[in-house]
Amino acid sequence: MKKDFIQDPVFPECPIRNVLARIGNKWTLAALYTLNKNESPMRFRDIAAANPDCSQKMLTQTLRGLEADGLIVRTVYPEMPPRVEYALTERGKSFMPVMQQLMDWAYNNLHAIVTDRERFNRN
């Protein structure tokens, strides 16, 4: 089995859990949002600057995972010093409406969720 295949120990044959394991990561959504918002290829340092609370190591791992899944493309330009840019692929772009719906839902329900959490924690 490939090392990038994320296998759920309880449901190893479930393809949805495999994909959601990558998409459900908060840095994955942040990186995709940043690339989509910019609408043009971005350099690593620019993605990092837009997500200052993400460590360089975590951002590197996230971008590699997104590249492995075909959601982004990494282009290396043969210059000195080398220039590397990241951009959404068509698959990555096709995920943006789904991600936007999730973000809209979270925004519209945030206050009610926080209120329910506080009530739950008081009991």
pLDDT at 2: 55
Note down pLDDT in tens along the chain; length 123 residues. 455 556 666 777 777 877 887 888 889 999 999 999 998 999 999 999 999 999 999 999 999 999 999 999 999 999 998 899 999 999 999 999 999 999 999 999 999 999 999 999 998
Q: Which helix (H) or strand (E) holds 26?
A: helix 26-38
What distance in Å separates the CA atoms of residue 58 and residue 64, rounded to the nearest whole number? 10
Residue 109, Cβ neighbours under 10 Å: how many? 11
What distance in Å separates the CA atoms of residue 18 and residue 9, rounded to the nearest whole number? 11
What distance in Å separates the CA atoms of residue 59 and residue 47, rounded to the nearest whole number? 9
Report pTM: 0.82
What distance in Å separates the CA atoms of residue 123 and residue 118, rounded to the nearest whole number? 9
What distance in Å separates the CA atoms of residue 49 and residue 7, rounded to the nearest whole number? 32
Residue 119 DSSP class: H
What distance in Å separates the CA atoms of residue 39 and residue 12, rounded to the nearest whole number? 36
**pLDDT one-digit tens code per residue, 29-60:** 999 999 999 989 999 999 999 999 999 999 99
